[in-house]
Structure formats: structure tokens, C-alpha cells
A and B are shown apart, each in its own frame.
Chain A
């Protein structure tokens, strides 16, 4: 009986999610149609020859989405770049998820990644070590850098009660300044150059790759399993979720919110550090002011789309990675602007996170399923 109900709930939830995707893609389709020159040309004759308009629109929409799909999954090379693009999103998303479970809204993945990349990147290009050891050192340096920066926000929250939304935002800016400052120093610049660009990470510090995919991707998946285990199976995870659900009750039950907040942010930061490792040690990018890009912020959307669960975060990260790789391919082959993928991504999260709206729009009967994340305010 109970398993039957679970299946029904699962189907209702899946139905709502699928509908949310469909609505987002539909709105995206309208935007694609109106950004296409051929379609816009048929607009003046919309009422005399409506057929032209619909043929042109269908052609534009079909070819754009097809190009996106092919560019992200159509070949082994495409799949490889999708995986590599997804890996940092998954790791940083896991960091946001982990803090979220402790009731902390970690907007600081960006800053944590920046500091991690700075320290790990330095180890990767400046130290001379044998192959395996060098990778290990650089990886640990990344984790420490992220944990350090996340830990600052955790300590400020736990000891001084400073709200983590403010502190993580501020730490993001401070981290960006620190990176810029470091890149203005000779120690971080390429020899003989005055640009804000570091040397390439040495090959000894890079993740080995098989078939065009670096093995850091496996590490990202391993991290997801580990996060799942810690959250759902360990004492720490239990305390974390207890504090996240109700800090007062947890304190009454004898848990230390101070310790939980600090540990949660340290681990969240380390996960963001792992994301930086994907970027620096995996793809082998040199340090530059734009190294992290918007991964730290996309990680928040990834975690939210994954409903703050490790499995959900992995799936959401893969989806966002695929869409961002596919978006570039779409612009290259069909000319549809890649900026559209950001809009579609935002719409997907919007509708997935608003199941009541989707149910009302699609006139689904309310059979449960598709619950929203716990609505929480500022108070903690």
C-alpha cells in the first residue's frame, strides 16, 4: 500500500517537473522565433500569409533546439565537453546544497572558488613535484583555500551572529580583489609579461584524462556520493539537518549550533574549492580575473533546481552544463544568441520551484508531489 502511494507521488512529481520544463522551453521557443531574422521578415505579412510566419518560426525553433541538443550530446566530443562543463557546477552546487541543509544560504561559492583557485593554482604552476604528488598537493591546496574562505563566513555566523547572506556576498568581493592584487604581482604573472594572467598549471598537477575527459569528473560524482552519505547517514548530517530545520530545538536537544554552522560552511567551502580544482587542475585554465566566470552564482541555481539534494544537484549540474555547451554550439551553427540559454535556465528553475503554479496552469489534479523547498525566512 505504502509503496503504491509512493509510486503515485513519484509520478505526480515527475509530471509536474516535466510540465515545468515544457513551459520553460515553450517560452524559450517564442524568444527564439522573435530573435530570428527570417521570422521577423515574415511579420509584416502575418495576416495575409500566416503560413510563412509559422513555417519560418517552426524552422528557427526546431533547428535551434536541435543544434543545442546535438552540440551537448550529439557526439563523444560533445558529451565530453558537457561533462567537463558540468563538473565544477556539480561541485559548487553541492557546496550550496550542503550549507542549505544546515539552514545557511551560501551565496559565497564564487569567492570560495576564487580563493581556492588562487592557492591551488599557485601550487599547480609554481611548485615542482613528481606527477602524482603534485596533483595531490594542488588538490589539497584548492580544498583548503575554499574551506578557509567558507570557514570565515561560518565563524562570523557562529560567533558574532553575522548573517551569512551579507558576509558571503562581501567575501565574494574581497576574494575578487585579492585575486586581482595577486595577479598584479610578479609571483603570479607569466615571466616577462605584465598581464593579469598566471602561467599555465604544470602537467604534473593536472588530472589525467581518458578519452578526452579528465578524471576530475569522477571525483565530482564521488563528492556527490560522499555528501549524500554525510547528510543522510552520519551523525554530523543528522545534526546539520536538525539545526537547519529548527536551530532552537536542536540547541535544546544539546547540539551545538556554533559547531554545526562552522563545520557546514567549512565543508561547503571545500566543495567549492573542489569546483575550482575542476577548473584549474581539470581543464588546465591559468589564473585570470575572469577564471571563475559565473559558476559560483550558477551553482546557487543548480542547487535550488536540485532541491538541495545531492542527486538532484548532480542532475541539475549535468543539465546546466549541457545547456551551456549546447548554447554555444547553437550560436555557432544556427546563429541563435547563446544569451537565450541563461533565460531558459532561469525559467526552468522558476517553474520547477513553483509546482503550485504549474499544477494550476496545466489543470493537474492536486495529487501531492512537486513540493517546494521549505520556505524559510531570514531568521535562523
Chain B
């Protein structure tokens, strides 16, 4: 479908359907943002909002009246660019999306925290440390997804790996009475479920989508069964303590956000850096990606396809298991039925939104973590009903996926078993 038009200067302007769809998507999303920022601006009378940078810090105030106007103008400019179809592609385009997103969040926050009539208004607490904390399991799960799928194995079972990781982390931590040892338990359990994934997907060429669903059901059933069978005393683990890294944690804003967290968060940094370097800077990573894109070609040059896939699947399982440990030793302690509460699915969405790249997946996961943190904070204000606020991270994903991500291209051989011959 091509629509060609000859403009006045005589140049031929050819637009394909994808370009038209892209423009429509941008128009819709930017128009929604522009309208909302306008509403926020006009309905906020007192834009002076109280905020705190850290948990122990004093409350300061910030006048957001000018910011509200600027946010609306920014959205309007973006809308104008979209209207004449001049939104740049590549990095500049991403920057515009990011700016519009930030403008929306800022004006939304000012609107939420403005106009508080009470004597002691609720202060906006710096959401960044919470974001990093809540993103940790999502990011670890997303790394598992990236590693497996780059090697050509669909890993739908992240949720299941997290669930067993969570249970066995609690069990191991209780038995040895050390939260750190719980991480080992979670890791081993995640790998164990990955062994099943690899065994049926790689050795017996089972449909990987079916396998993923089944493994989730199995993990749910098994953890519920164990929870009902083993005595409660085996499910009372210690919780990982925060470790402030000297010097680094004293950096304003960034320090408490990144360097005053528990061990699991630091492991997450290692996992992200490790996965990225492994996949894109090492010979192993090049081979893994080759196996995921064109296993036959890889096999022809002597790469052992299934051996590499096994390695990627097991490494991924270790990360998802660690991510699962967050739900017990990393946060609340004891294991409850269905402790991972759909985080594995969200990690999966982060993988797809991040286009199967560890950094992209990490950023997507952080977006979720940010929404979760804000939602928990905003529940104290009564502006939006808490029940609807709970839906916000998922609505944001829907808009992001439909508006910006669109059609994605997975690794070419993702989900296809490889049989030599």
C-alpha cells in the first residue's frame, strides 16, 4: 500500500502504510498526553508541593506552577511535530518520547500532590530508591528471558522459575538461618526448573510455549503442595539487610538510590552488566546469538547448537531463581502462595518491550518498577481511587507497547527446536 503524492515543488513524496500508522500512533499518544497535561495544569490551583529526597530528610517545597505550563507546552510541541510528521527517528526520537513521558509524569505528580487542604500535607518521597528495589526481580527475570530467547529458546516459564526460587530461597534461608544462603537456594531452584525446560524443549523438541505454561502450572502446584505439607517453622527466613557502600552511597540523590540497597540489588547490577557483556562482547555471546538467529548456519561452522542453548537456559534459570528470592528473603520474608504474583509475566513483557536486549529490557523493567513505586505512594492521597491506581503500570505498558514499540522482531529461530541432520 503506497500513497504517492506530488507536492507543489514537484518532488515526489512517497509514504508507505507503516509510516502512516506511525504518525497516527504518535498523534493519538501525544494528543492524550497534551489533553491530560492541560487538565492537570488548569485543575491545579495550589501547585506548591512538599517533597522529601530521602526517608530521613526534611520536607522542602517546590512551586510547580511554571513546570505545569512547560509540560503542557512540551506535549504541544511534540503533537505539532507529529502533525507535520517531523518526529525524528533513532536516538532523537527516543529522546522526544522520553521527554514527553517525563513531562506527563511531572505534571501528574504536581497535580496529585498539589491542592492539599490538610494541615500536614503528604510529601512526595523520592521514588527512585523504591523503583530500583521493585525493579530488581523484574530485571533479573528479564535477563533470564533475554538469555534464553537470544539462544532461540522461548522462556515463558520465568514466573515458574521465580516461584520455585522464592520458595526454596525461604526454605534454604530458614534451614541455615542465613538470608544470604537463601539466595543460593533460590538460584539452585531456578536452575532446577530450567533443567526441565531444557530437557523437554531441547532434547524432546516439545512446543516451548506449551512447556512454559505447563512449567508455571507445575511450579504453582508444587510450591502450594510443599507449603501445605512442610511445617510453618521451615518458612521463617531472615531478610537481607541493606548494605550502604562507603563513599558511593554519600552521593546526593544517586547514592541512596543505587548504593544503599541489599545484596540482591547489587547482584542485579552484576547480572545486567554481565548479560550485556556476555551477549555482545564475547565469543560465547556471538555464538549464542547465532544459534538463536540461524542454528543451521551456526551448526555448519561447527557450533554445538543444543549445548549452547543448554548453557543459556541454565544461566537464565539461575537469574530468574535469584529474582524469585526477592519475594521472600529480599523483601517480606516468609513465602506465601503465589508469591511472585505475576512478576514473571511482567518480566516477559519487559523482554519484548526491550526488544530482546538486556539494556532495553532493564529500562522497561524500571518503568514498571517506577509505576509500582508511585502507585504505592499515591495510594495515600485520595485523588484517584486506589483500585484504579493499581491498574496504572499495566495501562502504561499497554500505551507504550501499542504506541511506541509496535511490531517487534524476535530472534529468528526463537521457539524452533533444532534437530541436527
| Chain A residues engaging chain B, CB cutoff 8 angstroms | 31, 35, 105, 107, 156, 159-163, 165-167, 169-171, 173-174, 176-178, 180-181, 184, 297, 300-301, 304, 337, 339-343, 345-347, 349-350, 353-354, 356-357, 360, 372-379
Contact = CB atoms under 8 A, between A and B. Distances in A.
B277 interface: no
A166 B349 contact: yes
A301 B156 CA distance: 14
Given A377-B415, A378-B414, A160 B25 contact: yes
A297 B338 CA distance: 13
B154 A377 contact: yes
A290 to B, nearest CB: 12
Contacts of A162: 398, 401-402, 405-406
Contact of B401 (A167, A174, A347, A356): A167
* Main DSSP-derived SS at the A contact region: helix
Which of A107, A349, A373, A377 has the most chain B CB atoms inside 10 A of its CB?
A377
Which of B210, B395, B415 has the most chain A CB atoms inside 10 A of its CB?
B210
Interface in B391-421: 391, 393-395, 397-398, 401-403, 405-410, 412-417
* Main DSSP-derived SS at the B contact region: helix
Given A342-B220, A349-B213, 9 more contacts: A161-B407, A162-B406, A163-B352, A169-B342, A171-B398, A177-B390, A350-B211, A356-B204, A375-B415
B407 A378 contact: no
B370 to A, nearest CB: 16
B214 interface: yes
Nearest to A344: B221
B225 interface: yes
B121 interface: no
B207 A169 contact: no
B208 interface: yes
Nearest to A152: B398
Given A35-B229, A161-B407, A349-B214, A354 B204 contact: yes
A334 to B, nearest CB: 15
A177 B391 contact: yes
Contacts of A163: 352, 401, 408
Contacts of A339: 221, 224-225, 227-228
A174 B394 contact: yes
B209 interface: yes
A173 B228 CA distance: 27
A55 B203 CA distance: 37
B200 interface: yes
Contact of A346 (B217, B401, B417): B217
B348 A165 contact: yes
Interface string B196-222: 000010011111111101110110111
A268 B211 CA distance: 22
Nearest to A181: B387
A356 B206 contact: yes
A304 to B, nearest CB: 5
Given A343-B222, A360-B204, A376-B415, A301 B214 contact: yes
A169 B61 CA distance: 39
29 contacts: A156-B401, A159-B21, A161-B407, A161-B408, A162-B398, A163-B401, A165-B352, A166-B349, A166-B353, A167-B402, A169-B342, A173-B391, A174-B391, A177-B388, A177-B394, A301-B214, A304-B210, A304-B213, A337-B228, A339-B225, A343-B225, A345-B217, A350-B215, A354-B211, A357-B200, A375-B205, A376-B415, A377-B415, A379-B412
B349 A180 contact: no
Interface residues on B, range: 35 or more
Which of A170, A184, A341, A347 has the most chain B CB atoms inside 10 A of its CB?
A170
Nearest to A178: B391
Interface in B220-253: 220-222, 224-225, 227-229
Nearest to A308: B210
A163 B210 CA distance: 17
B279 to A, nearest CB: 18
B385 interface: yes
A262 B200 CA distance: 33
A372 B385 contact: no
Which of B211, B398, B408 has the most chain A CB atoms inside 10 A of its CB?
B398
A182 to B, nearest CB: 8
B234 to A, nearest CB: 15
A346 B218 contact: yes
A332 to B, nearest CB: 14
A153 to B, nearest CB: 9
Contact of B403 (A160, A169, A181): A160
A156 B391 CA distance: 18
A174 B414 CA distance: 29
B345 interface: yes
B379 to A, nearest CB: 12
A195 B416 CA distance: 49
Contact of A166 (B203, B204, B227, B401): B401
Contacts of A356: 204-206
Nearest to A377: B415
A278 to B, nearest CB: 21
A354 B203 CA distance: 10
Contacts of B229: 35, 337
A161 B349 CA distance: 14
A379 B398 contact: no
Contact of B225 (A174, A337, A377, A378): A337
A183 to B, nearest CB: 8
